[in-house]
Chain A
Amino acid sequence: ETGVTQSPTHLIKTRGQQVTLRCSSQSGHNTVSWYQQALGQGPQFIFQYYREEENGRGNFPPRFSGLQFPNYSSELNVNALELDDSALYLCASSWGLRGGYEQYFGPGTRLTVT
């Protein structure tokens, strides 16, 4: 069984640029959630995808967008990067949509915006 993987591990971008972060779900999982974890804070929910459709979104602006592919891997895209976007971005996969189902986290992508 393959765990959740994310790429790249680290990324440095300049304000105003665009970035794409990638996530491969754990084998058998069809749901992906993305979280932003600012330094010293708990993760904040960005959005969730289930079977290639967005299934809910947190309090993030539209310049945060995502995709889920038929193999259930996922991308997080951020346009017009701002300094406050510097954070650890976590991807978590799970099976189905049901309360209490554990989400399995990847190691994260550390994004630094200068």
Chain B
Amino acid sequence: AQTVTQSQPEMSVQEAETVTLSCTYDTSENNYYLFWYKQPPSRQMILVIRQEAYKQQNATENRFSVNFQKAAKSFSLKISDSQLGDTAMYFCAFMKGSTSGTYKYIFGTGTRLKVLA
């Protein structure tokens, strides 16, 4: 069974600074996908960034980038130039990539990020 662990329950960062959120996972699958989702206080989950396990290149979306270490099963999220709107709960999620079965997210417990003015 796959597991996702986020070891930082809460973090804070000054506006315009950089912060890194950690995520580790455990799986025996070779083909899978990893995601970071943002859940603002309004509740709606929004995809931040996605990484395919078969790609060595780390995904980047504007101010958001990941450090994907497949051998270490580590998938951290770096937020550069933090903005007040980045304040939210961040979830790391795993999804298998095989061609049969159930395609579900396995989420970590989340990291609450607060950006300080």
Contacts and interface: CB of A to CB of B under 8 A. Distances in A.
Nearest to B110: A42
Interface residues on A, range: 20 to 34
B103 A99 contact: yes
Interface stretch (A14-22, A66-74, A76-84, A101-109): A101-109
Given A99-B95, A99-B96, A99-B97, A43 B105 contact: yes
Given A88-B43, A90-B45, A43 B32 contact: no
B28 to A, nearest CB: 15
A41 B32 CA distance: 23
A27 interface: no
A31 B104 CA distance: 11
Nearest to B93: A42
A61 to B, nearest CB: 18
Among A42, A48, A55, A88: residue with most chain B CB under 10 A: A42
Interface residues of B, number: 30
Interface of A: 31, 33, 35, 40-45, 48, 55-58, 88, 90, 92, 94, 97-103, 105-108
Nearest to B101: A56
A98 B103 CA distance: 7
5 closest Cβ pairs, A-B complex: A56-B102, A99-B97, A42-B107, A105-B45, A100-B33
Interface of B: 4, 31-33, 35, 42-47, 50, 52, 91, 93, 95-99, 101-110
A99 B44 contact: no
A42 to B, nearest CB: 3
A30 to B, nearest CB: 12
Given A45-B104, A106-B44, 16 more contacts: A33-B105, A35-B107, A42-B4, A42-B109, A42-B110, A43-B105, A56-B102, A58-B104, A92-B45, A98-B103, A99-B33, A99-B95, A99-B96, A100-B33, A103-B105, A105-B46
A55 B102 contact: yes
A99 B101 CA distance: 10
A33 B33 CA distance: 17
B44 A56 contact: no
A19 B4 CA distance: 30
B117 to A, nearest CB: 25
